[in-house]
Amino acid sequence: MNADSISSRLNRNGADLGVKVDEVLKRTDDLFDKVEKSPARSAVARAAEPAQLMQDIEAIAKKVSNDYESVLGYPNTAKSVSQAVRTFRSSLDSMS
């Protein structure tokens, strides 16, 4: 595998990673919408919810940011592509 094909593959996988991050964020938004519309929620539970939601959002945002920074630091090699995919999959699994 030459450097151009590795770079092309890394760029393509980076774009795929961005699509997956967008998908996770959309699913998170959908989940928040479903929770908000749930008739079973009580007023007491709603009082503490904003703080908890903010903590959850901050935790997810930090994880995505840390993973992004890690992937940017990988060398431009084929091995790095597979490592980036493993990093992303691990993050998705930990958020489920």
pTM, two decimals, is: 0.46
- 40-89 pLDDT, tens digit per residue, is 666 556 667 788 888 988 888 888 888 888 888 888 888 888 888 888 78
Calculate what percentage of the chain has a pLDDT beyond 90: 0
First to last CA, the chain: 35
Beta-carbon contacts of 3 under 8 Å, excluding residues fewer than 6 positions away, are: 76
Quote the CA–CA distance of 38 and 53 in Å, as a whole number. 16
Question: Please, which contacts does 82-87 make with residues 24 or more away whose CB atoms are closer than 8 Å?
Answer: 84/10, 84/13, 84/14, 84/17, 85/13, 85/17
Give Cα 33 distance to the centre of its chain: 18
